[in-house]
Structures are given as structure tokens and as C-alpha cells.
């Protein structure tokens, strides 16, 4: 079965303008152009568009989707299985948050007593689930299941005060990174302060800290586009700068 651009747009619930843009950026090309100059899409393109929308639902950037889907080794079945697992984790995270909101409402009404730890349990669980969803495979491959499980257990058992301190420190790192980057010197005092804060942030969830593990994580930040995007959102090139600052810090 074939579709014109307007019919495919209606079928998928997107705009024709979106499909034209996907064509322009080489993300979704029509199977052919008919004699009247209209874009025509076949079943292969329909399936590809579904895959694109799955990726968009998981909040991947278009540039990342293009890199993944235009890779000649892209495996659609494997991608669908990963989507399924990620959505199951997302559902579990939402169920936990909904449960916490229910408890909080009941607590506010005076129907139950809710401890401070319970108030933050869902957020810690959400953070663990999100980390597993985004980086679990790579982290477990690098540091072993045992280390990651111990780290998750430490995070779950974290007090309200420590959780808030960890979150605050994470924000401070993103705020300090552009200032340190401006020096152009990863060995500068402010850059080394940045690396020290990063170490402190890690110790909240890591079962134990080692310089070698810190060094390995810094290298992973640069090698993995998802990690790189997180720190580069503070400033372009910030991930490499943070890595360099950490390498100097751990080698002192």
C-alpha cells in the first residue's frame, strides 16, 4: 500500500510539514516521486516512521535518531525490544510516583502518617529507573552488576538530607562547568574545584570511590553521546573539559 504525504501524515498523526522536514534531513525519504511531483511512501517508510516516533516518544534528539537509524547496522527488531523495556521502566516509574502522590494526599488529609523518607522514596526510585533506562547496559558492562546493584541500594537507602544535598551538588556542577571552561585550563583552581565537586557527588551513590573508577567514568562521558549531551548542555565542549579536569584531579 502506498501513501501520499498528506495521507501518511493523517495516518501517523503528524503534520505534512514534519514529513517534508524529515525528508530534507535524510531521516525519512519517500520511496519515490510520482509524475506529478508528489512524494509517495510505501510500507518500508511507514514502518520507519513508526520507529522514528518511538524514538521521539523516548525524547531522543533528531540528530541522535538520524545517527542511529542511518547506521547500516541498525536492527529494527532489537530497537523495538529496547523500546518495550524502556517503556515498561517508565510505566513503573510513573506508577511509583502516582503511589507517592496518593500517600501524600492522604497524609495531607490526616488519614495516614508519611515519613520524610517515604516522601522522597519515589524520586530516588525514579532516578534509579531513569539511570538504568539510559545508561544501565554500559555502566553494568563497565563496572559489573554487583557494583551497580550496590550503588542503587545505597541510593534507595539515602536519607532525605543526603538526597537533597546530592541534587544540589549536581546543579552546582552544571553551574560551575561554564565558569571553569572559560579559563581554558583544566588544571586551574576553579576546574579542580569542579572535579572535586564531581567526586563528592559520586560518593553519595557509589558504594566506594576509587580514582581509577572516576577516571573511567570521565572517559565514558566523552565516548558516549548520551553522557556527552548531558554536560554539553551546560556549555559546548564542556564534557571534554570536565574529563580533562578529572584526569588531572585523580593523577595528583
- What CATH number belongs to 3-69? 1.10.1660.10
Q: Indicate the SS3 state at residue 159.
A: coil
Mind listing the pLDDT tens digit for each residue in 76-86?
Answer: 888 878 777 77
Distance set, CA 47 to CA 28, 70, 94, 102, 170 (Å): 10, 14, 28, 39, 40
Q: Is the pLDDT of residue 141 over 70?
A: no
- Does residue 60 sit in helix, strand or coil? coil
H or E segment and range at residue 208: none
What's the pLDDT at 77? 82
Fold of 160-252: Globin-like (1.10.490)
Residue 115: is its pLDDT beyond 70?
no
Give residues with Cβ within 8 angstroms of 43, minimum separation 6: 1
Residues with Cβ within 8 Å of residue 71, at least 6 apart in sequence: none
Nearest C-alpha neighbor of 207 from the set 160, 137, 154, 146: 154
| pTM, rounded to two decimals | 0.48
The percentage of the chain sitting over the pLDDT mark of 70, rounded to a whole number, equals 83
Domain spans of the chain, in order of start: 3-69, 75-158, 160-252
Give per-residue pLDDT as tens, 224-234: 777 788 899 89
Range 209-220 average pLDDT: 90
Mean pLDDT of 129-156: 65
Per-residue pLDDT, averaged over 169-193, amounts to: 96
Average predicted confidence (pLDDT) for the chain? 85
The rounded distance, in Å, linking the Cα atoms of 103 and 111 is 9
Shared fold status for 3-69 and 160-252: no
The pLDDT of residue 30 is above 90: yes
pLDDT band at 156 (very low <50, low <70, confident <90, very high): low
Amino acid at each position: 500500500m502506498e501513501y501520499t504525504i498528506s495521507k501518511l501524515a493523517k495516518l501517523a498523526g503528524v503534520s505534512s510539514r514534519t514529513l517534508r522536514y524529515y525528508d530534507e534531513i535524510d531521516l525519512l525519504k519517500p520511496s519515490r516521486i510520482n509524475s506529478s511531483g508528489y512524494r509517495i511512501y510505501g510500507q518500508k517508510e511507514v514502518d520507519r516512521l513508526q520507529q522514528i516516533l518511538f524514538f521521539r516518544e523516548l525524547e531522543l534528539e533528531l540528530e541522535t535518531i538520524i545517527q542511529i537509524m542511518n547506521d547500516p547496522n541498525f536492527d529494527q527488531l532489537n530497537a523495538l525490544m529496547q523500546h518495550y523495556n524502556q517503556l515498561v521502566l517508565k510505566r513503573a516509574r510513573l506508577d511509583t510516583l502516582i503511589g507517592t502522590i496518593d500517600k501524600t494526599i492522604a497524609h495531607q488529609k490526616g488519614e495516614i502518617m508519611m515519613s520524610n523518607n517515604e516522601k522522597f522514596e519515589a524520586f530516588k526510585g525514579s532516578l534509579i529507573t531513569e539511570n538504568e533506562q539510559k545508561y544501565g547496559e554500559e555502566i553494568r558492562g563497565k563496572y559489573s552488576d554487583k557494583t551497580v546493584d550496590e550503588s542503587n541500594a545505597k541510593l534507595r537507602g539515602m536519607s532525605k538530607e543526603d538526597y537533597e544535598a546530592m541534587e544540589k551538588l549536581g546543579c552546582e556542577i552544571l553551574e560551575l562547568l561554564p565558569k571553569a571552561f572559560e579559563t581554558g585550563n583544566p588544571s586551574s583552581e576553579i576546574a579542580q574545584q569542579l572535579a572535586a565537586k564531581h567526586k563528592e557527588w559520586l560518593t553519595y551513590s557509589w558504594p566506594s570511590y576509587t580514582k581509577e573508577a572516576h577516571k573511567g567514568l570521565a572517559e565514558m562521558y566523552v565516548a558516549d553521546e548520551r553522557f556527552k549531551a548531558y554536560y554539553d548542555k551546560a556549555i559546548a565542549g564542556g564534557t571534554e573539559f570536565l574529563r580533562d579536569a578529572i584526569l588531572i584531579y585523580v593523577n595528583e
